[in-house]
Amino acid sequence: MVSSRNLSRVTNRQLIIQQLFNHSQTSRVELARILKLNKSTVSSIYNELNKSGLIKSLGLGESTNSGGRRPHLITLNKQYGWVACFDIGGYGLRSLVTYLNGEMIQVAEKSLDTINVRELLKEIDRMMENFLASDDTDHGLLGIGFSVHGVVYENKIQSTPFFDFKSIDLQKYFEDRYHVPVILENEANAVAVFEHDFGRENNVDDLITISIHAGLGVGIIVDGDLYRGYRGQAGEIGRQLVHRRGDTTASLVKVESLCSEKAILDRFRQIKHRPNYQLKQLYLLYQRGDTDTVNLIDNAITVLTTTIYNAVVSYGPQVVYLNSPLMESIPDIFRKVHHRLIDLNMNVPIYEIRGSRYPSLLGTSSLIIHHVLGMENYSLKFKWPKEVNHID
């Protein structure tokens, strides 16, 4: 049984780590003042954290107007260690390494055409080998996180259309291999965590992110917390059933079969009889006003607009963020969706995320950093990356 004294010390330690993380610099005097702790408590915890390497000295600061001793400034040591994050989707494997403060170090990407799960694990191990070889931190690898395009519950993949993980426990495999904690999270949820944790200056605690990739998914933040639903199934809007436009049989299809990036590309390749066409060709023909391509995109925009509107009225967010490589490739899609939502009197701000390859990885980085520091129940402010911005 943990004594109240020990519990109080753990809480004070976490509060001090939170202050170190959320401010570019502070001092022991400032920590005692803000947290209303006595100086001996702060000094004891400071000595412990300093000995572990979590604290970096910045030297002496300026004295106050009333004079007195100049404060000894300190900050979180971002180079204490690093975390590795991987996004496992339908088009490839993307990876990101960040310092302990969430600052990006390096990114890697690999196409995964016709690859099986065993080859996927080997590719991740190859990336890890390269990351470990270039490590410049004090304590090395601290944790690994996975953003999965599928349903995740209690660190286990429940379903994903891309790989058969029935015989593989990703968490156990990588914890046994690298001896660090491993977490798994749904991709749309990871994007929502990114918007909340890296965008804390916006003070938005109720938001949704809508990811448009091979499927459609919603990440939901309610009162500052990630909402996963029963067994991680919240936000699977791509599975909603709708009538296909022009279909007189009254049959129902999944909405993602009409307006996901995969659905649009598959239909584009089919009508053009070019199975190897990619987003580049879709964009070029759309820009040229090709009738088939324009009609295809316009139909998808109609379905997307309805889907986004229904998500907004269902979840009641302050802000909506759309994460879509397709929209980055064809900016007209977001502009038209946005205008149609305004015509429907949707009064919730909606933004497109530019730099869509990063948010799920950075959100996963936040989750594993919270875990490594034992700060799951504390708010940590991450610096917004220059590689990502919002379009309204």
The residue behind tokens 């395009």 is: 149
Q: Mind listing the pLDDT tens digit for each residue in 198-240?
A: 997 778 999 999 999 999 999 999 999 999 999 999 999 999 9
Distance CA 84, CA 69 (A): 42
The percentage of residues in the chain with a pLDDT greater than 90, rounded to a whole number, is 84
Higher-pLDDT residue of 148, 71: 148
* pLDDT at position 71: 87
In a domain, 274, yes or no: yes
Q: Give the pLDDT score at 1.
A: 43
Question: Is residue 1, in this structure, part of any structural domain at all?
Answer: no
Domain final residue, candidates 23, 51, 76: 76
In a domain, 43, yes or no: yes
**CA–CA distance from 381 to each of 31, 38, 51, 202 (Å)?**
17, 25, 24, 11
Is the pLDDT at 265 greater than 50? The verdict is yes
Given a contact cutoff of 8 angstroms between Cβ atoms, the answer to whether 7 and 54 are in contact is: no
Mean pLDDT across 310-337: 96
Confidence check: pLDDT of 114 > 70:
no
211 plus 145 within the same structural domain: no
For range 256-268, the mean pLDDT? 95
Q: Say if 385 falls within a structural domain.
A: no
- Top pLDDT among 54 and 9 is at 54
- Band of pLDDT at residue 4, cut at 50, 70 and 90: low
Per-residue exposure over 303-338, b if at least 16 CB sit within 10 Å of its own CB, e if not:
bbbbbbbebbeebebebbbbbbebbbbbeebbebbb
What was the pLDDT predicted at 160?
Answer: 86
Looking at residue 321, its amino acid is Y
Domain membership of residue 225 as a residue range? 200-353
CB 197 within 8 A of CB 167: no
What's the N-to-C CA distance of the chain in angstroms? 52
CATH number of the domain bearing residue 38: 1.10.10.10
- As a whole number, mean pLDDT of residues 317-344 equals 96
Domain boundary among 22, 42, 76: 76
Instruction: Write down the pLDDT at residue 2.
Output: 45
Domains in the chain: how many in total? 3
Residues 215 and 329 in one domain: yes
Q: Measuring CA to CA, how many Å separate 16 from each of 33, 75, 132? A: 12, 11, 30
Q: What is the DSSP letter of 383?
A: P
Can you list the positions of beta strands (E) in 61-140?
A: 72-76, 82-88, 92-99, 104-111
Q: Are residues 172 and 278 in the same domain?
A: no
Q: What is the mean pLDDT of the chain?
A: 93
Averaged pLDDT, 120-144: 96
Which residue, among 48, 64, 51, has the nearest Cα to 12 in the 3D structure? 48
pLDDT at 247 over 90: no
The Cα–Cα gap between 166 and 158 comes to 9
Kindly state whether residues 253 and 318 are assigned to the same domain.
yes
Judge whether 40 lies within some domain.
yes
Residues 128 and 248 in one domain: no
- CATH number for the domain that contains residue 342: 3.30.420.40
Res 3: pLDDT: 55
Query: Per the domain annotation, does 337 fall within a domain?
Result: yes
CB 106 within 8 Å of CB 119: no
- Regarding whether 99 and 68 lie in a shared domain, the answer is no
Could you tell me if 32 and 95 lie in one domain? no
Same domain, 239 and 291: yes
Residue 387 lies in a domain: no
Cα 142 to chain center, whole Å? 18
Q: Are residues 187 and 131 in the same domain?
A: yes
Cβ-based neighbour number of residue 193 at 10 Å:
25
